[in-house]
Amino acid sequence: MAKGVFIALEGGEATGKTTTAQAVKEKMEALGYEVVVTREPGGIPSAEAIRNNIMDFHVDPKTELLLYVAARREHLVNKVIPALEAGKIVITDRFHISSLVYQGCARELGMEAVRMLNDFACEGHYPDLNIIIDIPVEVSMERKKGVEDINRLDLEGYAFHKKVEEAYKMISEKGEDPTLVIDGTKPMDEMIEEIYEVIKNKVEAMQ
């Protein structure tokens, strides 16, 4: 491909983003595309180190936001942009919309402040499409029961995660970012196939 395609998978907790990203990668690679699957915060050692600080310590909300943005900058400059410049498809598990939702809304720091910091860090490098996997917060919390890999955000209460759910819907409705909402309550194989078709069509349209 002459130009890479940047896709972000978004949504609350336990939506199946990680599983979906890997499955779509395999399907796209079967068609001959080069695909990079990554995650935020993280994706490279320096950003993973920042992730550990976010997840392991109870930091101030503004500190949390700044850490996310710092990790995003490292990830973007050192992994995402080089892959896109090489003509690859990049599928990331979360990007800037997660900060708008979690820190801007759920942490009540404000959307404008979060957008400003992301604009500073990303310099216009945003996903071509943000796919929001939508599930009710009740389903999300039920899925998390018995899961061993629990982080600090998973332990937030119902009210916090309800704000997350509502914020994703609000962002999609406002239309400032290219988003598509997918029903995350359907069977996993059906959801994966739907997201695969969306990504494949997006890639073909951008070629």
What confidence tens digit (pLDDT) does each residue in 138-192 have?
A: 988 888 776 666 677 777 888 999 999 999 999 999 999 999 999 999 999 999 9
Q: What is the mean pLDDT of residues 100-115?
A: 97
Which residue intervals of 57-130 are DSSP H helices?
A: 61-75, 81-85, 96-99, 111-122
> Contact, 7 vs 90, CB < 8 A?
yes
Give 7-62 pLDDT, tens digit per residue. Answer: 999 999 889 999 999 999 999 999 999 999 999 999 999 999 999 999 989 999 99
Binding residues for ATP: 11-18
Q: What CATH number corresponds to the domain at position 38?
A: 3.40.50.300
> Which residues sit in the known binding site?
11-18
pTM for the model: 0.94
For residue 159, the one-letter residue type is: A
- Domain carrying residue 48: 5-206
**Pick from 2-6, 67-71, 181-185, 191-195: least confident:** 2-6
**Tokens, residue 12:** 């609350």
Looking at the 3D structure of the chain, how many domains does it have? 1
- Positive or negative torsion for Cα 193, 94, 77, 125: positive
Give residues with Cβ within 8 angstroms of 37, minimum separation 6. 21, 22, 25, 91, 92, 93
Question: Hey, is 180 helix, strand or coil?
Answer: strand
Q: Does the CA dihedral 106-67-80-27 come out positive or negative?
A: negative
As a whole number, mean pLDDT of residues 134-138 equals 93
